[in-house]
């Protein structure tokens, strides 16, 4: 049997991914035990699973260290790695938004030269250049991006909004929606050629599991 290696995004997304893969017939008992291990096997089914930081999932898949990866569409867009995106998994739903204090709305409307803080500089650049035709200064942050406008590092942020509570609790509001987001399955392009039957079977079984709800 051809071995398959699947890269998962550490944390909540990995848990949801494993629930779905288990329903589709690709379980991994080793992973259910609490541990600091990063790689897990199901010998019987010829499967390896590993846990990585989200932005690294497309990297592992592009280089073929993983045949398959599961991560958010925000990360897939931002990283822009070579891989086939094969399935929308329907969980991890949220939005990429431009947010800031209400007072920043007019800066957007008047296409002012503003500062934008984001963990997603490529998505932010693409949005301001191609959709708004607005020249902006993009500042890359690594987290707690909502701080940007509060401490006057930036006028607005481009970030993920799920429940909206982080924005609310920090006196910020959504000023525009960039796009909807959800978890996606990606496949290495060479693996798709070399392990076609196994990968198509997995995609089919995961799709069936999704349809069965
Ligand atoms: C994400 C995102 C927002 C928050 C949105 O941050 O960057 O800050 O969640 O969720 P909400 O709309 O439900 O409040 P995350 O928790 O990943 O931490 P980080 O800010 O350190 O990246």
**Tokens linked to 163:** 């429940």
pLDDT in tens, 156-166: 999 999 999 99
| Element spanning 99, H or E | strand 94-100
Mean pLDDT of the chain: 97
Is 161's C-beta closer than 6 angstroms to any atom of ligand 1? yes
Position 148 confidence tier, pLDDT thresholds 50, 70, 90: very high
Instruction: List the Cα angle 206/209/213 in 5-degree steps.
Output: 140
Residue 129 has what pLDDT?
97
Residue 35 has what pLDDT?
80
Sequence-ordered list of residues with C-beta below 8 angstroms from that of 204, at least 6 positions apart, any chain? none
Q: Is pLDDT of 90 > 90?
A: yes
Decide if 161 contacts 174 (C-beta within 8 A). Answer: yes
Q: How far is the C-alpha of 132 from the C-alpha of 211, rounded, in Å?
A: 37
Sheet order of strands, 39-42 included = 39-42, 47-52, 4-9, 68-72, 183-187, 84-88
Instruction: Locate the ligand 1 atom nearest the alpha carbon of residue 167 and give its number.
Output: 14
Cβ–Cβ contacts within 10 Å for residue 51, how many? 18
Give the largest Cα separation in the chain, rounded.
Answer: 61
pLDDT in tens, 3-57: 999 999 999 999 999 999 999 999 999 988 878 899 999 999 999 999 999 999 9
144 CA → ligand 1 middle, Å: 7
Q: How far lies 50's CA from each of 8, 34, 55, 146, 180, in Å?
A: 6, 14, 14, 31, 27
Decide if 86 contacts 203 (C-beta within 8 A). Answer: yes
Position 88 confidence tier, pLDDT thresholds 50, 70, 90: very high
Mean pLDDT of the region 83-103: 98
Residue 159 has what pLDDT?
98
Is 112's C-beta closer than 6 angstroms to any atom of ligand 1? no
Q: How far is the C-alpha of 185 from the C-alpha of 21, rounded, in Å?
A: 11
Is 74's C-beta closer than 6 angstroms to any atom of ligand 1? no
Q: How far is the C-alpha of 207 from the C-alpha of 213, rounded, in Å?
A: 10
Residue 33 has what pLDDT?
83
């Amino acid at each position: 049997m051809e071995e398959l290696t699947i890269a998962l995004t550490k944390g909540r997304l990995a848990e949801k991914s494993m629930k779905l893969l288990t329903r589709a017939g690709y379980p991994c008992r080793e992973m259910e035990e609490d541990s600091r291990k990063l790689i897990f096997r199901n010998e019987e089914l010829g499967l390896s699973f590993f846990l990585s930081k989200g932005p690294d999932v497309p990297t592992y898949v592009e280089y073929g260290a993983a045949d398959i990866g599961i991560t958010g569409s925000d990360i897939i867009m931002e990283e822009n790695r070579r891989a086939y995106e094969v399935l929308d998994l329907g969980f991890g739903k949220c939005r990429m938004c431009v947010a800031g204090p209400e007072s920043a709305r007019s800066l957007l409307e008047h296409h002012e030269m503003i500062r934008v803080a984001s963990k997603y500089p490529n998505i932010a650049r693409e949005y301001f250049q191609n959709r708004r035709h607005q020249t902006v200064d993009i500042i890359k942050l690594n987290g707690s991006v909502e701080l940007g406008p509060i401490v006057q590092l930036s006028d607005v942020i481009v970030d993920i909004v799920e429940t909206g509570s982080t924005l609310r609790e920090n006196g910020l509001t959504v000023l525009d929606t960039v796009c909807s987001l959800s978890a996606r399955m990606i496949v290495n392009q060479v693996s798709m050629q070399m392990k076609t039957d196994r990968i198509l079977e997995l995609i089919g079984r995961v799709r069936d599991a999704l349809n069965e709800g």
